[in-house]
Structure 1
Amino acid sequence: MITTQKTMAKAQAMFATRRALGPFVGTVAKKLDHYSQFQPSSLSIQQYLDFGRNGNAASSFEFLRKELLVRLANIMQEISLLPPKLLATPSSKMVSGCFNDQLQVILKRHAHVVETMAEGLIELRESDGVDIAAERGIQYFLDRFYINRISIRMLQNQHLVVFGNVLPESPRHVGCIDPACDVESVVLDAFENAKFLCDRYYLTSPMMKLEMHNMVEKGSPINIVAVPSHLYHIMFELFKNAMRATLEFHGVDDDPPDIKVYVVKGSEDLSIKISDRGGGVSRTVLERLFNYMYSTAPPPPRDGTQAPLAGYGYGLPLSRLYARYFQGDLFLVSMEGYGTDACIYMKAVPVEASEVLPIYSTSSRRLLTQAAQVADWSHPIPGQGQNSRDPRRNPNCA
């Protein structure tokens, strides 16, 4: 209740500001309409890397000045097409009002957009709920909204680290990108942090058995050009899920079975499999695990006192978006009564790892305002597989 009141107060303050800026609203709307007619420029990790090494602040700024507006305009045109009940929730109003053209301010202001939007869906579920057609539209929009947010923050952070005063995570990094990302260290870091969180909740946690196989340079460590924070996010979320499932299936009194992790580097792909013995789920449940409005855990406390182990239902769908952002993927294979395998694929060749970006068009507008009829990269139709992609971008996209 207190959190809802705070959210409403923030939203009211935002509306007051927008009323004061009334004369400028029409101009902003025209700008959004103008820039939404452009397609975002999809960049590869190799292009990010090359420009970070050889580019300059002036040319980076000129690119960002248009590209950020294009990406924001494309997704903001779709916000107005969401179901009115969702738009009316206080949390959704806050998200739709977050717009600022200063990079540092945007990064700080949007730091909690994911959690705030998740609370908006919880508010919707707690009120009148939502019908199936509207739920499909929300799912389609949120996949596009969050991958748009990932891409914008990638552009902003890359510029601020390379040309601004934000320090890189290590001297080796080129902006947010590590040209020689040590995959094993990222996996171990994600496991240890998930283990710490699990120990706080259950007072115990499963151990991990890790196997590394470099099939390109046998015997060598596995290094790839990657954004370590993206890989960490994926692994951390999957480890949390695996630990929680294992302990709730086997109990906390006995030694839980290990979580097995296999990392393989091939000539084209980096493949990671996380295998748990957490009891698995049925195929009916498996189909819903990537749904933003579904969670196997109760909603987390809204007082902000502790980091939730689960509850928003966002861990899996967001992790899949981080994997897909640079042409990778994430899917689950579950054996009900035994356990689940989570498989992650990432491009091992940086020139092939180009951004997957949503584009506002008559097609996206139609899919947002009525039930999806055709497969889309961010909203596969049941029975057509999890690897469907947006046919408007590339019919052969994998």
Structure 2
Amino acid sequence: MSATVASAVSSAAASAAATSAAAAAATAAARAAPAVRQLLRHSLRHSPQALRREIARAASHRGTPLTVRELYAFGQRALLAPNATRLHSAQWLHSELPVRLAHRVLELSELPYGLAEMPSVKEVKDMYQNSFCDIVESGRPDTYLEEQNFSEMLTSIRTRHDDVVRLIAKGVIELKEHCGRTSSDLEIRSFLDRFYMSRIGIRVLMSHHLALGDPSPGMAGVINRFCKPSHLIEQAVVATRSLAYQHYGEAPTVEIRGNTQLQFPYIDSHLYLCLFELLKNSLRATVETHRDADVLPPVRCIIADGVEDVTIKISDEGGGFRRSEMKGVWTYLYTTAKLPPKQLLEMEDRIDRTNRPDPIAGFGYGLPLSRLYARYWGGELALASMEGYGTDAYLHLSKLGDKKECLTA
């Protein structure tokens, strides 16, 4: 993880056979911990003033950004000393996660134009406050049993936050109805970028810790040492062509070229999310532009292996878009779907999403979120369009794994 955590892991491995005195001290601390936690629980849960003070104290610190290389190295240590590594990971997260959560709680309390008062935004703020309290109240895990309990709590928190993206989107729609402000406003768009970028980081840390207890070949936590872009492209092609067939009854072929054997350390799910979004847009544009053609032109994916970056280019002949539309493409809730975002979100509230295929065009979050995932570790997502012909998307990813997280605070 970080250099500090790495050194802690090394010392933990060296002292695996603890002395009886240290064991006695740990037992005493464990017995005293419930009383301390109970006192803190009472002060935070039942005293808004105490909660505000604790959140302000945590937010006075900055988060500690990590790199893919650090996460992977820490995951490798977990294979050699799993219990000690997971314990020190839990201890680090116990101090790091409240800092990141506290920054978001404060920002959710101080949003412009009354966005903080929108019902869905207040729901998210309460969610983050509850997660903050859960971690602070749990106390620092000092035994392997406490680490297991801490991990169970992280699983619950991660599940609790599953719906955050949609709730914040709903809050922006509520704001539009309230005062006419939309996500095209620079302050709101900047907040959304910061908030969602922070959410990515929080989920990465929790997921990485939880994955340390369930190692898979080639994996170190959530980092896949052998992440293969061509393999993920193939998976995304199957999923997006299936969507196109469901909506249009046809789909263009997708050609994969370049260095199809390339492998490098990365998070599979982050890359897949970007590929899925870009291919979904390209297939949709191609079908709608050439609906009357006998043969649909193919979509082309090219994988380039550079010294510093891995670049994936996705090219289509879907008609492109006007240069005047470029800013809108990166705006949250900007969509070319036939249904407006509000109606799409209302459908999401009414329908069981677990048994329903994803829509071919959603409520305008795909591209801006994909760009955040690309930028999270020093990458980029850029579009180049030729109106009347097609669009090229360039997905750049840091190959060296030495870029730190893009933390907002």
Secondary structure at the aligned position of 2:361 is classed as: coil
Distance, in Å, in 2 between the alignment partners of 1:145 and 1:151 is 10
Q: In the alignment, is residue 43 of structure 1 matched against residue 66 of structure 2? A: yes
Amino acid of the structure 2 residue aligned with 1:354: K
Distance, in Å, in 2 between the alignment partners of 1:274 and 1:83 is 37
How do 1:196-275 and structure 2 match up within 5 A?
196-213=242-259, 221-251=261-291, 254-275=294-315
Corresponding position of 1:332: 383
- Which residue, 84, 88, 98 being the options, matches 1:69? 98
Normalising by the residue count of structure 1, what TM-score does the alignment of the two structures yield? 0.78
| Structure number with larger C-alpha Rg | 2
Judged with a 3 Å threshold, the aligned counterparts in structure 2 of structure 1 residues 279 and 125 are, in CA distance, closer, same or farther, namely farther
- The superposition leaves residues 274-304 of structure 1 with CA deviations (integer Å, 9 ceiling, x where unpaired) of 0111111111111111111322223323333
| Shift, 1:63, TM fit | 0.8
How do 1:23-172 and structure 2 match up within 5 A?
23-55=46-78, 56-99=85-128, 100=131, 101=134, 102-130=153-181, 135-163=185-213, 167=214, 170-172=216-218
Distance, in Å, in 1 between the alignment partners of 2:372 and 2:48 is 32
- Which residue, 343, 346, 355 being the options, matches 2:405? 355
Q: After the TM superposition, which segments of 4 or more aligned residues of structure 1 sit over 4 Å from their partners?
A: none
| Shift, 1:68, TM fit | 0.5
Distance, in Å, in 1 between the alignment partners of 2:360 and 2:176 is 21
- Which residue, 348, 351, 355 being the options, matches 1:304? 351
Judged with a 3 Å threshold, the aligned counterparts in structure 2 of structure 1 residues 125 and 196 are, in CA distance, closer, same or farther, namely farther
Distance, in Å, in 1 between the alignment partners of 2:110 and 2:408 is 15
- Which of structures 1 and 2 has the larger relative contact order (alpha carbons within 8 angstroms, sep 6+)? 1
Judged with a 3 Å threshold, the aligned counterparts in structure 2 of structure 1 residues 80 and 314 are, in CA distance, closer, same or farther, namely same
Asked if the contact 1:247–1:278 (Cα under 8 Å) also holds between the matched residues in 2, the reply is yes
Identical amino acids, percent of aligned pairs: 37
Amino acid of the structure 1 residue aligned with 2:246: R
Q: What is the total number of aligned residue pairs between the two structures?
A: 328
Corresponding position of 2:19: none
Secondary structure at the aligned position of 2:163 is classed as: helix
Asked if the contact 1:75–1:144 (Cα under 8 Å) also holds between the matched residues in 2, the reply is no
Corresponding position of 2:28: none
| Shift, 1:253, TM fit | 6.0
| Shift, 1:131, TM fit | 6.5
Distance, in Å, in 2 between the alignment partners of 1:247 and 1:213 is 27
Asked if the contact 1:204–1:252 (Cα under 8 Å) also holds between the matched residues in 2, the reply is no
Amino acid of the structure 1 residue aligned with 2:220: V
Distance, in Å, in 1 between the alignment partners of 2:182 and 2:254 is 41
Corresponding position of 1:375: none
| Shift, 1:40, TM fit | 0.9
CA RMSD of aligned residues (A): 2.0
- The superposition leaves residues 121-177 of structure 1 with CA deviations (integer Å, 9 ceiling, x where unpaired) of 233334542178x821110011110110000000000111103xxx45x42211111
- Which residue, 197, 222, 225 being the options, matches 1:176? 222
| Shift, 1:89, TM fit | 2.9
Secondary structure at the aligned position of 1:185 is classed as: helix
| Shift, 1:252, TM fit | 6.0
Asked if the contact 1:202–1:252 (Cα under 8 Å) also holds between the matched residues in 2, the reply is no
Corresponding position of 2:35: none
Distance, in Å, in 1 between the alignment partners of 2:229 and 2:370 is 17
Stretches of structure 1 lacking an aligned partner (at least 5 in a row): 1-19, 215-220, 360-398
Secondary structure at the aligned position of 2:303 is classed as: strand
Judged with a 3 Å threshold, the aligned counterparts in structure 2 of structure 1 residues 66 and 222 are, in CA distance, closer, same or farther, namely same
Corresponding position of 2:31: none
Stretches of structure 2 lacking an aligned partner (at least 5 in a row): 1-42, 79-84, 135-152
Distance, in Å, in 2 between the alignment partners of 1:116 and 1:202 is 30
Q: In the alignment, is residue 318 of structure 1 matched against residue 374 of structure 2? A: no
Secondary structure at the aligned position of 1:145 is classed as: helix
Asked if the contact 2:45–2:51 (Cα under 8 Å) also holds between the matched residues in 1, the reply is no
- The superposition leaves residues 85-127 of structure 1 with CA deviations (integer Å, 9 ceiling, x where unpaired) of 4333332222121132331111111112112222222333345
Judged with a 3 Å threshold, the aligned counterparts in structure 2 of structure 1 residues 354 and 128 are, in CA distance, closer, same or farther, namely same
Distance, in Å, in 1 between the alignment partners of 2:156 and 2:101 is 15
Distance, in Å, in 1 between the alignment partners of 2:245 and 2:114 is 39
- The superposition leaves residues 327-376 of structure 1 with CA deviations (integer Å, 9 ceiling, x where unpaired) of 111011111111111101001112x23211102xxxxxxxxxxxxxxxxx
Asked if the contact 1:327–1:355 (Cα under 8 Å) also holds between the matched residues in 2, the reply is yes
Distance, in Å, in 1 between the alignment partners of 2:77 and 2:375 is 27
Asked if the contact 1:210–1:262 (Cα under 8 Å) also holds between the matched residues in 2, the reply is yes
Distance, in Å, in 2 between the alignment partners of 1:304 and 1:326 is 35
Normalising by the residue count of structure 2, what TM-score does the alignment of the two structures yield? 0.76
Secondary structure at the aligned position of 1:260 is classed as: strand
Return the structure number with greater helix share.
2
Amino acid of the structure 1 residue aligned with 2:121: S
| Shift, 1:32, TM fit | 1.2
